[in-house]
Structure 1
């Protein structure tokens, strides 16, 4: 298992390099720049700024300068937010983004597993149809639209929950963002659990357990749940990475102090360093989560062995 993990890490290095290269040149070749504004800067000021951020160097030289900094763990300074480095901005926003993403991950995973198991047990009955309809609504409607709808309903009309902002320690400010993030994730988990559970409940060893007089709850807990979770585990890694990256839009809609605020502002203002630093961070998160999922898959299924 250790050798497999090491090979996966070595395989991930070219992926990270390709991602950095593609993003770097796309950002540099796109129209506009970090110092373009409605009012043009004096030529001397622009020249000094470009020299300070190495923008006066040839493009290939800028690439190798940035790549050398990344290998040293330095993502460079922010070109828009003065006196802030990219690493500093990421360290400010990342804890909140991780907290929001993991909260939605836990809520969506638990709710999806319960909904999928209930729908499988009650197959082709009204609970199954109701849960499938709720799941489809959560998957089909985009996050930004659903966020505006719940803000309008629960925040403006009913005034039960705040529509935006965040106060440290306040759970009320997290209810709507976590709900919006967890809906599509929980819907996908529910669909996977439902389909897998229906297949497992039709196997011979489950029929044998029923013939011995075991109850439905005991059959689900002892015989059906673990094999039914295999497709879910395969999805959890990409699902968590989707929640962490999808939280960028939700953070912007609800005005939350996560990485999303910095990332979207950096993309609009052509802050090359912050956009690249955030992209590299998410690539590392996705690769790490996929590795963890592979290890969990081997634990759940004894037939899976990595050599």
Structure 2
């Protein structure tokens, strides 16, 4: 298993390099620049700034300098936040983004597994129809619209939860953002779990267990849940990646101090270093999550072996 993990990491390096290269040149080719503010800078000041950040060099040479720094673990300086490097900015926002994403991941996964199992057990009955309808709501309504609706209803009209902002240690500020992030993830998990559970409940060994007089709960616990989880586990890696990237918009809507706040501001202000650093960080997180999912899949299915 350790050798497989090493091979996966090595095979992912070309993908990371291609993604970094594409993102680097797309950002540079986009109109505007980091110093195109409302107030025009004097030509001498602008020339000094461009020279300081190597923006006066040919594009290929800028790319070589950036990749060289990246290989040394240096994400470079921020072109908008003068007192911080990109690594410092990411270190400030990453803990909150991870906390928000993983909390929504746990809540959405548990809710999706429970809803999918209940829907499968009550197939073509009223609970099944109700749960499927709720699942579709979570899938159809986009994050930014759901966030605005929850802010208006529960934050303004009912005043049950804060409509935005963040107070350290206050769980109330996390309720609405976690719900917004968890809803689509719970919907996708529930659909996968429902279909997989229906298929497992129709297998011969489950029929045999029922013929021996075992109850539904015992059948689910001993025979159905583990094989039914296999399609869900395959989705958990991309699902967590979706939550972490989707949290960028949610953090902006709810004014939360995560990476999303800096990433969107950097994209608007053409802060090349911060945008690239955030992209690379998310790629590394996604690769790590997918590796963990592969290992978990092998644990759930004894037929899967990574030799």
Matched, 1:167 2:138: no
User: Which residue does the alignment assign to 1:67?
Assistant: 67
Deviation at 1:38, TM superposition (A): 2.0
Deviation at 1:290, TM superposition (A): 0.9
User: Which residue does the alignment assign to 1:92?
Assistant: 92
Q: Cα deviations across residues 118-150 of structure 1 (Å, max 9, x unaligned)?
A: 000000000000000000000010000000001
User: Which residue does the alignment assign to 1:46?
Assistant: 46
Between 1:136-145 and 1:2-11, the stretch displaced more is 2-11
Matches of 1:39 and 1:92, distance apart in 2: 29
Matches of 1:166 and 1:2, distance apart in 2: 41
User: Which residue does the alignment assign to 2:240?
Assistant: 240
State the aligned residue count.
307
Give SS of 1:161's match.
Answer: coil
TM-score of the pair, normalised by structure 1: 0.99
Deviation at 1:242, TM superposition (A): 0.6
Matched, 1:281 2:281: yes
Q: Cα deviations across residues 258-300 of structure 1 (Å, max 9, x unaligned)?
A: 0000000000000000000000000111111111111111110
User: Which residue does the alignment assign to 2:188?
Assistant: 188
RMSD of aligned C-alpha atoms?
A: 0.5
User: Which residue does the alignment assign to 2:158?
Assistant: 158
Dislocated runs of 4+, deviation >6 Å: none
Give SS of 2:150's match.
Answer: helix
Matches of 2:233 and 2:106, distance apart in 1: 13
1:114-153 to 2 correspondences below 5 Å:
114-153=114-153
User: Which residue does the alignment assign to 2:82?
Assistant: 82
Q: Cα deviations across residues 170-226 of structure 1 (Å, max 9, x unaligned)?
A: 000000000000000000000000000000000000001011111100000000000
Matches of 1:257 and 1:220, distance apart in 2: 42
Give SS of 2:66's match.
Answer: helix
Matches of 1:30 and 1:199, distance apart in 2: 49
Deviation at 1:5, TM superposition (A): 1.3
Structure 1: runs of 5+ lacking an equivalent: none
Matches of 1:117 and 1:204, distance apart in 2: 19
Matches of 2:182 and 2:171, distance apart in 1: 16
Q: Cα deviations across residues 77-125 of structure 1 (Å, max 9, x unaligned)?
A: 1000111100000000000000000000000000100000000000000
Deviation at 1:306, TM superposition (A): 1.5
1:229-268 to 2 correspondences below 5 Å:
229-268=229-268
Matched, 1:302 2:302: yes
Matches of 1:107 and 1:283, distance apart in 2: 23
Give SS of 2:160's match.
Answer: coil
Deviation at 1:7, TM superposition (A): 1.1
Deviation at 1:152, TM superposition (A): 0.4
Q: Cα deviations across residues 12-41 of structure 1 (Å, max 9, x unaligned)?
A: 000010011000000011110000122210
Matches of 2:268 and 2:18, distance apart in 1: 23
Matches of 2:168 and 2:35, distance apart in 1: 34
Between 1:87-96 and 1:33-42, the stretch displaced more is 33-42
User: Which residue does the alignment assign to 2:291?
Assistant: 291
Deviation at 1:244, TM superposition (A): 0.5
Matches of 2:84 and 2:305, distance apart in 1: 46
